[in-house]
Amino acid sequence: MGRELTWHDALFGYTIGQDDATFDTRDSSAFAPLAAVADPAFTWGNDRRPARPWHETLIYELHVKGFTQRMPDVPDRIRGTYAGIGSAAALDHLKKLNVTAVELLPAHYRVGDRQLMEKGLSNYWGYNTLGFFAPDPRFSTNPRDPNAAVREFKSMVRSLHAAGIEVILDVVYNHTAEGNQMGPTLSLRGLDNASYYFLSPESQRHYMDFTGCGNSPNMRHPRVLQLVMDSLRYWVEDMHVDGFRFDLAPTLARELAEVDKLGSFFDIIHQDPVLSRVKLIAEPWDIGPGGYMVGSFPVGWTEWNGEYRDAVRGFWSGKDVPTSLLAHRLTGSGDLYERTGRRPYASINFVTCHDGFTLRDLVSYEQKHNLANGEENRDGHNDNRNWNCGVEGPSDDPKVNARRARQRRNMFATLLLSQGVPMILGGDELGQTHRGNNNAYCQENGLTWLDWDAADRDFLTFARAVAQIWRNQPVL
């Protein structure tokens, strides 16, 4: 990216403050984001993909900035950047935890939401993509140099590979930063709105929205499929990443309004000589009709197993979880994956992820505390299957704190010792808290940056020990 977007009313196709059927004819070029041609030259040396088999994979989900922004042994200049992840201190932490793959929250170029910026907040997680080929410059040591982000991303990948760690990108092809008819005109909408997006059959001015984010790309159109496939190949061939986690993946399989398990997207992925060989992870749900697809993706795909999360949380928080159901979850969820010919490693097991409570908060809060997000606590999940161990929030009661520590150990050990592929939320091993905020997507501050100085050293030691057991005895 050569120039960041500057918010201005001229970016919108209608007159702000009036009906969206109006038309704004002003030139927006002074405010629009601009692309830049980057120099692809890079010395990869003897870089090789670790090519870890799934049954030997331990995933660590992290945010590029939040992971090292406060890490004390990382030089100040590179904290919160791609270079920070490739630093000796960061790599040492990952290796001691036996991590074999990092899953990066979106690193594609994203646009910050105007309404969040006006509240003094930020789209921190980054699920608002505009540039599918550009690494986000905010994670570069020199955001004004278009080449720096590309160069430093590649350096990060090379360093992780040298440490035996794969790089998986969380990618957002299910919607774009242009939003619905009230959103800005920045790219695809201005090029060919009717081809790039699902439009409402009743009103071509409005959008079909399967994600809750305003629009959904029209995967029936060959140019839209080409855009996605070219982007994926770029990140594999030029940037050397090892796989992808597809946000709200059922949206990509919607040939019409319904999810088509044999959709063009799946077909073209399986036939592609490059992409069929990398790690493919689906978030197997969206908010459209038939959008909950846990256990329904084709052979070659793994899935975030929401059923595993719910069962393990429910069991340890004292909910009524049938023994037979828990047994399925601990042994690879054969009831979900075996009927499609997939092995236990099709299940990406997790108890916590970026979306929801941290592990520490899961045992410290029963209610969400999201007022800082500016939505009067309406946002975030309400069904969290959690238990505060008798006290809401921080406690000085030694018995409560001992119970919470035991519960964290219970869930972490269950995760690492179940059949399937375990995924750890970055910071859980440190005892990270978001103070009860279970939707911290807009908090780009000390609430979400990992607090290394306040790390729970006893739990970190425990986490490393359990991860070593996992490594010594991988479960097929």
Go through the chain and tell me how many residues it has.
476
User: Phi and psi (nearest 5°) for 192?
Assistant: -165, 80
Residue 246 belongs to what H/E stretch? strand 243-246
Q: Report d(CA 440, CA 379) in Å as an integer.
A: 10
Taken in order 355, 219, 212, 21, is the CA torsion positive or negative?
Answer: positive
Number of Cβ within 10 Å of residue 42's Cβ equals 17
> What does the block give as tokens for 430?
């440190």
Q: Parallel, antiparallel, or unpaired: how do β-strands 108-110 and 101-104 relate?
A: unpaired
- H-type alpha helices, 54-203: 64-68, 82-85, 88-96, 114-118, 146-162, 188-196
Number of Cβ within 10 Å of residue 285's Cβ equals 17
CA Rg value for the chain: 22
Candidates 310, 229, 336; CA nearest to 276 is 229
Please confirm, yes or no, whether 247 is among the known catalytic residues: yes
Residue 109 belongs to what H/E stretch? strand 108-110
Please confirm, yes or no, whether 376 is among the known catalytic residues: no
> What does the block give as tokens for 90?
């960061």
Q: Which residues pair with 170 in a beta bridge?
A: 245
- Of the residues 283, 307, 310, 444, only one is catalytic, namely 283
Q: Report d(CA 97, CA 261) in Å as an integer.
A: 37
∠ CA(195), CA(199), CA(200), 5° rounding? 160
- Of the residues 136, 247, 307, 361, only one is catalytic, namely 247
Residues 6 or more apart whose Cβ sits within 8 Å of residue 429 = 97, 412, 459, 460, 463, 464
Amino acid, res. 38 = A
Taken in order 345, 272, 196, 138, is the CA torsion positive or negative?
Answer: positive
Q: Report d(CA 96, CA 461) in Å as an integer.
A: 10
DSSP 332-377: T-HHHHGGGT--GGGEEE-S--SSS--HHHHTT-SS---GGGTSTT
Q: Report d(CA 87, CA 73) in Å as an integer.
A: 9
Ramachandran bin of 139, using left for φ above 0, alpha for ψ from -120 to 50, beta for the remaining angles: alpha
Residue with tokens 């001992």: 402
Active-site residue numbers? 247, 283
